[in-house]
Amino acid sequence: MSVSLLMAGCGGEQMPTVVLPEIDTTNPLLAQWETPHQTPPFDLIKVEHYKPAFETAIAVSRAEIDAIVNNPAKPTFANTILALENQGALLDRIGGVFFNINEADTSDELQQIAIDIQPELTALGNDISLNPELFKRVKYVYEHPGLFLSKEDKKLLEDTYNDFVRGGANLSDEDKELYRQYTGELSGLTLKFGQNSLAATNAFSYNITKAELVEELPSFVKEGLAMEAKARNQKGWTVTLKAPSYGPFMTYSSQRDIKEKLWKAYNSRALGGPNDNSENIRQITALRLKIANLLGYECYADYVLDNRMAQTTSTVLSFLEELRAATIEYAAKDVAEITAYAHTLGLEGELMPWDFGYYSEKYKNEKYAVSDEMVKPYLKLDNVIDAVFMLANRLYGLTFTPAQDITTYHKDVTAYEVKDNNGEHLAVLYLDFFPRESKRSGAWMTEFRGTSVENGKEVRPLVSLVMNFTKPTETTPSLLTFDELTTFLHEFGHSLHGMLAKGKYESLNGTSVLRDFVELPSQIMENWAYEKEYLDLWAKHYQTGETMPVEIIEKIVAAKNYLAAYMNIRQLSFGLTDMAWHTLKEPYTGCVEAFEKASMESTKVVPAIEGTAMATAFGHIFSGGYAAGYYGYKWAEVLAADGYSLFQQNGIFDSKTAAGFRKLLSSGGQVHPMDLYVEFRGHKPQTQALIDQMGLKK
């Protein structure tokens, strides 16, 4: 049956009746969620529910858009801008579930649904952004905003208008059709890129059956490899290309021949073979260039950066070069130091990339007498979870309680109810820690639902943190490496951005900020991992209960800037190759490997290896949202280095400083990020803050 809805505006203004298509409320994705905090009923949702739910929600969204366009009343903020913000709520709800599950617990069936539905979603987006009558109403309100809009309303109006312009609303009819074509092709290619990367990662493993080849490995590494082999019905020990397997083996094994195979496999994922992404990269960058040209930009980076803190391509290139020039000499010294050390241990010839992790870890142990194996017993995952929650409590008064009545999408996932310092419900937080075949690599924060106000009632967010940490074994609980601890803090910083959001409009809340600002909350959180005052409160040996000795903490702090210049140059190389791909002014038809090597030449401090390229698995820029934006990690590092110095100055748990930073987090995208930052810190950030933090003072 059809259902009629009356969409309410503000100030009593009424929207026209929206006649919705038939809705099958037996589909749990389309039904009302009578669950705690309206969380997704994962126990009821099945694969077969997604496609019909998407089809219904797309039809509902089209009906809502038609109602806005056909409204006979004069365009106003309420009946046009606010109505646009609120339309598509059902589609957002379904997409919020589907696309997050497709990343964290995918299957062949889910991937096929993504392939099938993506063109329809792209078409809908284009039908909205390229609708001349709809844009006419938006433009009218933009030019006649009225006298009674709040700052938040004005920001929504400005963003809505700019989104239409950036989405092709001012194009000619002929160019609009080209825009539709290009964006449709692009959405399919980026989706395929991600699927190829995951398939290539899962396709490779290396089984070891000789005990002497793993004898030197720490017990936690051996146990993990043995569990992997057992899961695959193999004998011995199996190494995969997933981080908790690949990383420790490369760090602790002296078996150069095996490590060479692993390194080359990891660094040639989706480069050739059945999952090759080379042609996808050429087509993706060509289509992005065509879209940028249609919209009046010389290259895709110009288009992207027009809506970033950095604003221009030249600013980003100058920023990257400033950091490169200031640190390349130190990075070369880092490599020379590791090479010289390796030679003292019998390495002959050049230090190769697959040698670096092993010798740098041994040198770190010798120089600072600290290693992952030494630190891990004090970083039991359960304790780390409590410690991260405790930090949020000390800074912001938040409490976290396991929510047994909230269903999750996988048995390894735990849901928590988050309450504010006044006892009010703030958010639901899902934690998903361990790797599996159905989960992509890496770590990320996402939301099933953001923050908004609907019919005068605040809707609080459903936030998810997804990681790939070391699994517990049959004899040992999950013990984190120090890098995994900082990763947890990093992603938790993103979650705070979501959980502390306060505002009327979901599109302006939480992590909905300019891309080169979004990493500030995450990167600033990492700093607490190095603070003795914080570690003393919780870092205890999982067997003895002994507090982490001061000697280990001092070694961790002393080792903080170990290879800082090398790691900085490595990150810059990724930012530079990203910019190279997206400052192309002509489509690239050549070799992806050759392009990458040329783009990274100025940052080369270790040998380049033929037959490898990271681009074909560089999901951040080819299937994620970081195209012409990877520099943002370094940009945000500058903000974080400068910003954290205020906590260091006032106290790492200082309530006044934390309150100032909470205001920055809660504001989301409602205020320009530079204004938010200056209000918090008192001045604009400077690159030298990061260089100083790395210990590279002149």
Q: Is 277 within 8 Å of 271 (Cβ atoms)?
A: yes
| Residue range 414-420: mean pLDDT, rounded | 98
In tens, the pLDDT along 57-91 reads: 999 999 999 999 999 999 999 999 999 999 999 99
Mean per-residue pLDDT over the chain, rounded: 94
Tens-place pLDDT, residues 188-228: 999 999 999 999 999 999 999 999 999 999 998 999 999 99
Contacts of 623 (CB under 8 A, 6+ apart): 190, 191, 193, 194, 197
CB 49 within 8 A of CB 109: no
376-515+526-560: in CATH 1.10.1370.40: yes
In this prediction, residue 8 carries a pLDDT of 43
Please state, as a whole number, how many other Cβ atoms lie within 10 Å of the Cβ of residue 546: 12
Cβ–Cβ under 8 Å, residues 689 and 638: yes
Residue 6 confidence (pLDDT): 38
Contact 4, 21 (CB under 8 A): no
Question: Which pLDDT value is given to residue 697?
Answer: 67
* Contacts of 233 by beta carbon, 8 Å cutoff, 6+ apart: none
**DSSP letters along 475-524, please?**
SS--B--HHHHHHHHHHHHHHHHHHT---S-GGGSTT-S-TTTTTHHHHH
637-651: average pLDDT: 95
SS3 state of residue 278: helix
pLDDT at 653 over 60: yes
pLDDT digits 0-9 by tens, 114-143: 999 999 999 999 999 999 999 999 999 999
Q: pLDDT digits over 346-400, tens only?
A: 999 999 999 999 999 999 999 998 888 899 999 999 999 999 999 999 999 999 9
Q: What is the pLDDT of residue 139?
A: 98
Set 85, 103, 417, 491: catalytic member: 491
| pLDDT for 16 | 58
- Say if residues 84 and 156 touch (Cβ distance below 8 Å): no
- As a whole number of angstroms, the distance between CA 581 and CA 515 comes to 18
pLDDT of residue 276: 98
In the DSSP assignment, the letter for residue 652 is: T
Rg of the chain (C-alpha set): 26
Average pLDDT (559-578) is 96
pLDDT the model gives residue 10: 46
Rounded mean pLDDT of 422-426?
97
pLDDT of residue 250: 98
Confidence of residue 600 (pLDDT cuts 50, 70, 90): very high
Range of lowest pLDDT (3-17, 287-301, 411-425, 609-623) = 3-17
Contacts of 286 (CB under 8 A, 6+ apart): 587, 588
| Per-residue confidence band for 4, with pLDDT thresholds at 50, 70 and 90 | very low
3 state SS of 173: helix
Nearest to 551 by CA among 364, 377, 360, 370: 370
Q: What DSSP element (H or E) covers 208?
A: strand 205-208
Beta strand 462-466 pairing with 425-432:
parallel
**Which letter, b or e, does each residue of 48-73 get, where b requires 16 or more Cβ atoms within 10 Å of its Cβ?**
ebbbebbebbbbbbbbbbebbbebee
Domain map of the chain by residue range?
3-170, 204-266, 298-357+563-698, 376-515+526-560
Banded model confidence at residue 19, pLDDT cuts 50, 70, 90: confident
The pLDDT value recorded for residue 248 is 95
Which of 478, 217, 544, 491 is closest to 371 using CA atoms?
Answer: 217
User: Considering only CA atoms, which of 498, 591, 483 is closest in space to residue 529?
Assistant: 483
Render pLDDT for 248-267 as a digit per residue (tens, 0 to 9). 999 999 999 999 999 999 99
**∠ Cα 360 543 545 (to 5°):** 100
In CATH, the architecture of 3-170 is Orthogonal Bundle (1.10)
- pLDDT band for 425, please (50, 70, 90 cuts): very high
- The tokens of 115 are what? 């392939």
pLDDT mean over 317-322 = 96
Told to judge if 103 belongs to the known catalytic residues of this protein, a careful annotator would answer: no
Q: What is the pLDDT of residue 530?
A: 96
Residue 314 has pLDDT above 60, yes or no: yes
pLDDT, residue 20, reads 78
State the Cα–Cα distance between residues 636 and 547, nearest whole angstrom.
33
pLDDT at 61: 97
Q: Which two tokens stand for residue 526?
A: 């990492």
Helix (H, G, I), strand (E, B) or coil at 399: strand
Mean of the pLDDT values across residues 434-455? 94
Percent above pLDDT 70 for the chain: 97
HEC string of 70-106 equals CCCCCCCHHHHHHHHHHCCHHHHHHHHHHHHHHHHCC
Of 621, 560, 598, residue with least CA distance to 288: 621
Q: Regarding the domain delimited by 298-357+563-698, which CATH topology (the fold level of the hierarchy) does it fall under?
A: Neurolysin; domain 3 (1.10.1370)
Count other C-beta atoms under 10 Å from residue 590's C-beta: 9
Q: 3-170 and 376-515+526-560: same fold?
A: yes
Residue of 210, 208, 227, 220 whose CA lies nearest to 252: 220
pTM assigned to the model: 0.86
**Contact call for residues 206 and 239 (beta carbons, < 8 A):** yes
Residues 27-60 have pLDDT tens digits of: 999 999 999 999 999 999 999 999 999 999 999 9
pLDDT tens-digit readout, 256-295: 999 999 999 999 999 999 999 999 999 999 999 999 999 9
The residues, any chain, with a CB within 8 Å of residue 223's CB and separated by 6 or more, are 473, 474, 475, 476
| Number of continuous H segments (helices) and E segments (strands) in the chain | 27, 11
User: What is the band of 474 on the pLDDT scale with cuts at 50, 70, 90?
Assistant: confident
Confidence of residue 147 (pLDDT cuts 50, 70, 90): confident
Instruction: Name the 3-class secondary structure at 459.
Output: strand
